[in-house]
Amino acid sequence: MIMEINFITSNKGKIAALERSFLNAGRLDIKVNQARADIIEPQLCNIADVSKYKAVEAFKILKKPVLVEDGGLVIEALNGFPGPYTKYVLSTIGVDGILRLMHGENNRGAKFVSFATFVENDGTIRQFERFGDNFEIANERKNILHPDAWSDLWQVMYMKNYGKMLCEFSKQEIIDHTEKSQTSGSLQQFAKWFMEKY
């Protein structure tokens, strides 16, 4: 019997990442469906609440189990900003605006935080958290366009463990870094739980 997960996302990369988790575990009986639900993006103060709100609303619309994943950039010196507002910040002030906000700050520490929220058939809500790799916001933008970049943030992310900017990574470094970081991702935490339960 095929079990289906209705993943509310427009991001095909997230779908592929979740499918990979199941395939790598040899679970061919789990199918990930890209689902859509007309949900208003809530303006809430933390990523966990945004993810939970969207999952509950999608469950009400679709009337079947749903999965939602939300994440954001958390900058220590800015008290966790932009957090749930990352997408909006990048579409308005962009990375140059983030650099202006960080001007004169000695603490350049940052990380990505994400939450996967799953609403089960009976309405039970499960949340899975990932705190991403720590990195630093560089003092200035490195104008290198990496072919795998999902955001201009790559041009300001200084990866301490590698001693270089993310936009300077080779293909192999991207693969190694992604594989290492994805084992603790919120989607991977969800996949592990789902496979143990079902």
Catalytic residue annotation? 70
Distance from C-alpha of 27 to C-alpha of 19, rounded to nearest angstrom: 9
Helical packing angle, 12-24 and 186-197, nearest 10°: 40
DSSP sequence for 54-88? HHHHHHHHH-S-EEEEEEEEEEGGGTT-BGGGHHH
12: left (phi over 0), alpha (psi -120 to 50) or beta: alpha
Tokens of 59: 């469950």
Residue type present at position 29: D
- Phi, psi angles (nearest 5°) of residue 176: -60, -45
